[in-house]
Amino acid sequence: MINAKNLTKRFGKVDALKGLNLHVKKGSIQGLIGPNGAGKSTTIKILSTLVIANSGDVTINDIPLKRGVSVRSMIGVVPETPRLHENKSARSELRFHAKLYGMSQKEAKSRISDLLYAVQLEDAADRPIRGYSTGMKKRVALALALLHEPEILLLDEPMSGLDPVIRKQFKEIILDLKEMGKTILVSDHDLYTVEELCDSVTIIQDGKTVVEDTIESLRHETGSIAIELRVSDDSTMDGLESKLTSLDCVTDVSQKRGWVIVKVRDSKTDIPVVIHTASNHTDILEAKQTKITLEDIFLKFAGGHHG
């Protein structure tokens, strides 16, 4: 659905993108994650046709991005901080955009009513936007992005500045959109949100793609399961770490606040081996099993530069 190859973008003397690759499958929700300044927003802006790449090829639904008009009919964009015409109401802002998309008055009226209902802005729809909260503005931006029923949604930090209640509503709306078959690219700092929403992720760093795959595959590569072990004698932790590192079934070992964290791929076969090896080396006070998070994956691939 979205294919970007060797994208480069230079702003003055700064290389924002240095050959980024991105592949988003139809009907999926893909996360675009990376440290601050990695090039996430620039990528979204290029896909939105707002920023022009210096080189590289981008196709959306097999249509080259250069054919801006055809591409823009297929995409909806929600920016990190949506700026709206403050003197207008949500309804008149939507009405203006409906005209930009060539919608008939009748079609626009019914679509706007549906969207205002969906984003829960019916009561405030005729009030000037300048009195809206950040969450309300974000909901207007989402309604604007969905107005022309695009196949693809580009969401840049959709959850930033939202309170927990609105975040939950937003998540539900995004998951509903996926159910409707939309293809969604989400750039977000909140890795827990990305993990909850996305099927796959593209991790970028310094303007390049570090890794791109489904979260499950990356979890498998990182180690699907983490076992946290607490030992009675802290002086044995270093020895235990090197002992466990030598095991074939272990993908990673680290220490964190008195715990030794061991990552393995298979819970059934690998955990007993780890416990047995650890018990032989030192006294184990406590052991618990946790799932590998997207944060673990991110830290492994992005080298701990998460901003």
39-98: contacts with other proteins (CB under 8 A): 45, 48-52, 68-70, 72-73, 75, 77, 79-85, 96-97
Amino acid (one-letter) located at 114: D
Q: How far apart are CA 263 and CA 244, in angstroms?
A: 10
Residue number with CB closer to other proteins (26 or 99): 99
Q: How far apart are CA 105 and CA 87, in angstroms?
A: 22
Q: Which of 16, 29, 72 is nearest to 49 (CA)?
A: 72
Residue number with CB closer to other proteins (51 or 175): 51
Question: Contact between 100 and other proteins (CB under 8 A)?
Answer: yes
Beta carbons within 10 angstroms of residue 97's beta carbon: 17
Residue number with CB closer to other proteins (70 or 245): 70
The dihedrals phi and psi of 125, each to the nearest 5 degrees, come to -60, -30
Question: Contact between 110 and other proteins (CB under 8 A)?
Answer: no
Which region, judged by CB under 8 A, interacts with other proteins, from 20-28, 100-108, 158-166, 195-203?
A: 100-108
118-157: contacts with other proteins (CB under 8 A): 144, 156
Residue number with CB closer to other proteins (25 or 99): 99
* Helix, strand or coil, per DSSP, at residue 264: strand
**Mask of contacts with other proteins, 8-37, x by CB under 8 A?**
---x--------------------------
HSE on the CB side for 90, CA within 13 Å? Answer: 29
Residue number with CB closer to other proteins (31 or 76): 76
Identify the residue whose tokens are 């303007």.
207
The answer to whether residues 122 and 90 touch, using CB atoms and an 8 Å cutoff, is no
Binding-site size for other proteins (CB under 8 A) equals 30
Residue number with CB closer to other proteins (82 or 223): 82
Cβ at position 43, least distance to other proteins in Å? 13
Chain positions contacting other proteins, by CB under 8 A: 11, 45, 48-52, 68-70, 72-73, 75, 77, 79-85, 96-97, 99-103, 144, 156
